[in-house]
Amino acid sequence: MNSPHNLQLFPGSAAAHWLTQLRTASPLVHCLTNQVVQNFTANVLLALGASPAMVVARQEAGDFSAIASGLLVNVGTLNETQVEAMLLAVASANGAGVPWVLDPVAVGGLGYRTDFAHRLLTMQPAAIRGNASEIMALAGFSSAGRGVDSTDDSLDALPAAVELANRCGAIVAVTGAIDYVTDGQTCYALPFGDPLMTRVVGTGCALSAVVAAFLSLDKGKRLELVACACMVMAFCGGAAAKESAGPGSFVPRFLDLLYQLQPEHLMGKTL
Amino acid sequence: MNSPHNLQLFPGSAAAHWLTQLRTASPLVHCLTNQVVQNFTANVLLALGASPAMVVARQEAGDFSAIASGLLVNVGTLNETQVEAMLLAVASANGAGVPWVLDPVAVGGLGYRTDFAHRLLTMQPAAIRGNASEIMALAGFSSAGRGVDSTDDSLDALPAAVELANRCGAIVAVTGAIDYVTDGQTCYALPFGDPLMTRVVGTGCALSAVVAAFLSLDKGKRLELVACACMVMAFCGGAAAKESAGPGSFVPRFLDLLYQLQPEHLMGKTL
Amino acid sequence: MNSPHNLQLFPGSAAAHWLTQLRTASPLVHCLTNQVVQNFTANVLLALGASPAMVVARQEAGDFSAIASGLLVNVGTLNETQVEAMLLAVASANGAGVPWVLDPVAVGGLGYRTDFAHRLLTMQPAAIRGNASEIMALAGFSSAGRGVDSTDDSLDALPAAVELANRCGAIVAVTGAIDYVTDGQTCYALPFGDPLMTRVVGTGCALSAVVAAFLSLDKGKRLELVACACMVMAFCGGAAAKESAGPGSFVPRFLDLLYQLQPEHLMGKTL
């Protein structure tokens, strides 16, 4: 499966390897994220075997990101207090060599967060994870986004993702029915998700935290690690959706599957 | 079933009609709500087919409410930052003709939120949704409320609801074991809920967001649309309670039923 | 079972007695807690039969804690606004004779919250509830904590708990695989929990709120009441873990069991 962007399926064997590493390392993920998804994000990280911490004050955010394994910056409910803490945390993470992830929630139509996201783009994120509308807006492509919804297809945003990756040196993941992950050269396609995941708040935001967890495992393998994060989440999400009567029963089942997931499941064994 | 307030049962056929409209429109609901219930509120809206967005900064709240379909203002964890964002959002919603809903959580005993709620009352809410103690306090009737609990029966608050509706031109919903919805003339009674819903935080707060979602469908049908929101939530809540072993299993079942609900269920077909 | 600290098993009959009292009193618990666990904390209190309220503004926090049954102060996502509200609430609670509980989340490595926790220690908390690393740090013992994780065993922290209890006059609960509760003389051991509870965010934070609820029942029985709170939570948590496929299904099952729990279950009847 080839394309102008050298599109490849991500190998389950690689995901299996890194899942084992994640469980051993139990990375500490500093989450500066939006108010709506903090609980779910923490529970996703804990279920998977990582360790979440939400240290939000400007007095502590910088100190903490330097000792964390990875940092998440999500602008979903951005406010002035958070802007200050995020800038301190990012600077400190960069100083300490801690990878950080940008989740540009609803960037595009809203000026305050869009300006801030563009400022963050200059601060060397290791990865950016958004839906099609967000990635297109961040890359300066026109989009049809409305608030936190993506009204664009993830494949339509692939050129924007490639452009953004090349411009700022980050791995870019554009997620949707199929997830695409690119370093500007190679693109992985991950066709494991389920539309039911869009009816549960925070599945994308939690994925961004999981990206930060995986990125902490090896600085030389960023493309592979971001793809691995997307695969693990979409794989468990797709499996949970098939067993769920709706978005309510999806959540506990999804968390149970993240907890139960073993490397062999990513290589073909039924979860 | 008649009364001094012209009390009527709300027809399931009307609710069925508007549910179909809601699913088609997928209204974008701007939620300025309390910290405790943001996740649940978002998941309720998503399960039902609406689209939630929590845009909280004063830099963005006004711009966003003008493009939203409806706005919710819930004072449950009111603070100074939120007061500023809420005033901007309400003014902008009013300017753009976007209906907004006031949820006066724990108004009565606590001066800061009570003063602010009275200020909001002068800003033309399309609807007000509260428990008996809150509606009585807001209308200036004496009540026995304690924090967020209602110690008054919803029927006892009906005169206060009627008075409040007439005074400020809003539809008023007073919810409890039975919900009552009035425009000051006609009152609908909705006897579908279950006491278990009071053991789950945020069922009332999420209802207020659903009221905002329904109100966006037709400005000329406000009384009917608020009653419809109450009926849909109480109907699914009552059904979920019957199938639940407690408040823990209630939540996923409730969300699943909101997702599965079809118009014919509101007209007598078993959910 | 004796030890240098006069270690005893806590009697189920006492827990059964106080559970009945809690259900009758339905204490109103003012929770000033972290952003991540507010929803879960509220649902735990509601499921058990208490009444939660999160009143966060400095304009209201003092007035409200004076009329509450108990107050929780949790520094997990401490910020400047919260510091001000917490100091007002604690002073007001002390003035009104309302017991308050300190949850020193991640105290130790982070200076801002550690300094604030030490300040709070001088303000007469009725109880302190933390994991081993937090209690050791608060007592000035060396620890191996990392963020919100405890890397120390709860038994290792017992000397620190005893020292802290004697120094500040609070009941100290150090929770982990086994919970220990001490007034500086007598120590109760509560071996009912399950490691799965550490994979769900907020089980410890919610316990601290439940401690505040139980403490409101009788000012002369603080040691017994804190132990009772720990027993109820660990008992239901242990039972829920045994029936759960993972941390996702644990949450609804745990809340259902808190709701279903009867005094006789604490005296040996199968839950």
Per-residue pLDDT of chain C (271 residues; tens, 9 = 90+): 335 567 899 999 999 999 999 999 999 999 999 999 999 999 999 999 999 999 999 999 999 999 999 999 999 999 999 999 999 999 999 999 999 999 999 999 899 999 999 999 999 999 999 999 999 999 999 766 555 556 678 899 999 999 999 999 999 999 998 999 999 999 999 998 899 999 999 999 999 999 999 999 999 999 999 999 999 999 999 999 999 999 999 999 999 999 999 999 999 888 8
Task: Label each residue of C15-60 as H, E or C.
Answer: HHHHHHHHHHHCCEEEEECCCCCHHHHHHHHHHHCCEEECCCCHHH
| B256 contacts A251? CB cut-off 8 A | no
Is position C175 annotated in a ligand binding site?
yes
| C254 contacts B246? CB cut-off 8 A | no
- Average pLDDT taken over every residue of chain A: 94
Q: Which of B54, B79, B255 to mutate to probe the C interface, most C CBs <10 Å?
A: B79
Query: How high is the pLDDT of residue B2?
Result: 39
| B246 contacts C255? CB cut-off 8 A | yes
Shortest CB distance from B79 goes to which of C42, C56, C255?
C56
What are the chain B neighbours of A206 within 8 Å (beta carbons)?
none
Q: Do the Cβ atoms of B136 and B160 come closer than 8 Å?
A: yes
Residue C83 CB-half CA count within 13 A: 13
Query: Nearest-CA neighbor of A122 among A162, A169, A77, A76?
Result: A169
Tell me the shortest Cα–Cα distance from B271 to chain C, in angstroms: 22
| C251 contacts A47? CB cut-off 8 A | no
Rounded to the nearest 10°, the torsion over CA C84, C87, C92, C93 is: 130
CA distance C81 to A57: 10
Say if C151 is an interface residue toward chain A (CB within 8 Å): no
| B149 contacts C55? CB cut-off 8 A | no
Q: Which of B256, B257, B262, B265 to mutate to probe the A interface, most A CBs <10 Å?
A: B256
Give me the total of CB pairs closer than 8 Å, taking one residue from chain A and one from chain B: 98
**Quick check: helix, strand or coil at residue A121?**
helix
- Looking at the domain covering A7-264, what would its CATH class be? alpha beta
Residue B261 structure tokens: 């609900």
Say if C39 is an interface residue toward chain A (CB within 8 Å): yes
Say if C74 is an interface residue toward chain A (CB within 8 Å): no
Q: Which residues contact C2 (CB under 8 A, 6 or more apart)?
A: none
Closest-CA residue of C relative to A85 is C79
CA distance C82 to C71: 14
Tell me the shortest Cα–Cα distance from C256 to chain B, in angstroms: 4
Say if C43 is an interface residue toward chain B (CB within 8 Å): yes
Say if A28 is an interface residue toward chain C (CB within 8 Å): yes
Query: How high is the pLDDT of residue C142?
Result: 79
What are the chain B neighbours of A244 within 8 Å (beta carbons)?
256
DSSP single-letter state for residue A219: G
Shortest CB distance from B201 goes to which of C46, C259, C260?
C46
Radius of gyration of chain C (CA): 17
Neighbouring subunits of C (3+ Cβ pairs under 8 A): A, B
Is position C253 annotated in a ligand binding site?
no
- Looking at the domain covering C7-266, what would its CATH class be? alpha beta
Report the DSSP pairing between strands B171-175 and B179-182.
Answer: antiparallel
Instruction: Please list the pLDDT of chain A residue by residue as tens digits (271 residues).
Output: 335 567 899 999 999 999 999 999 999 999 999 999 999 999 999 999 999 999 999 999 999 999 999 999 999 999 999 999 999 999 999 999 999 999 999 999 899 999 999 999 999 999 999 999 999 999 999 765 555 556 578 899 999 999 999 999 999 999 998 999 999 999 999 998 899 999 999 999 999 999 999 999 999 999 999 999 999 999 999 999 999 999 999 999 999 999 999 999 999 888 8
Residue B205 structure tokens: 């707060």
Query: How high is the pLDDT of residue B1?
Result: 36
Residue A67 structure tokens: 């000792």
Angle at B205 between CA B201 and CA B207, to 5 degrees: 115
| C28 contacts B36? CB cut-off 8 A | no
| B252 contacts A249? CB cut-off 8 A | yes
What are the chain C neighbours of B248 within 8 Å (beta carbons)?
43, 47, 251-259
**Quick check: helix, strand or coil at residue C77?**
coil
| C111 contacts A51? CB cut-off 8 A | no
Residue A259 structure tokens: 């907890």
Per-residue pLDDT tens over the stretch B94-121 = 999 999 999 999 999 899 999 999 999 9
Shortest CB distance from B60 goes to which of A35, A40, A112?
A112
Say if A59 is an interface residue toward chain C (CB within 8 Å): yes
| B200 contacts C43? CB cut-off 8 A | yes
Which residues of chain B fall below pLDDT 70? 1-5, 143-151
Q: Order of strands across the sheet with C28-32?
A: C7-9, C187-190, C179-182, C171-175, C127-131, C100-103, C70-74, C28-32, C51-53
**Quick check: helix, strand or coil at residue B44?**
helix
What are the chain B neighbours of A149 within 8 Å (beta carbons)?
28, 51
What are the chain C neighbours of A60 within 8 Å (beta carbons)?
78, 110-113
Phi and psi, residue A103, nearest 5°: -115, 105
Query: Nearest-CA neighbor of B73 among B261, B254, B236, B209?
Result: B209
Query: Nearest-CA neighbor of C2 among C187, C230, C190?
Result: C187
Closest-CA residue of B relative to A199 is B46
What are the chain B neighbours of A77 within 8 Å (beta carbons)?
54-57
Residue extents of the structural domains in chain A? 7-264
Say if A47 is an interface residue toward chain C (CB within 8 Å): yes
Tell me the shortest Cα–Cα distance from A114 to chain B, in angstroms: 11
Residue B6 structure tokens: 């012209």
Say if B107 is an interface residue toward chain C (CB within 8 Å): no
Say if A77 is an interface residue toward chain C (CB within 8 Å): no
Is position A1 annotated in a ligand binding site?
no
Q: Which of B259, B260, B262, B265 to mutate to probe the A interface, most A CBs <10 Å?
A: B259
What are the chain A neighbours of C251 within 8 Å (beta carbons)?
252
Residue B230 structure tokens: 């109450």
**Quick check: helix, strand or coil at residue A269?**
coil
Angle at B58 between CA B52 and CA B60, to 5 degrees: 50
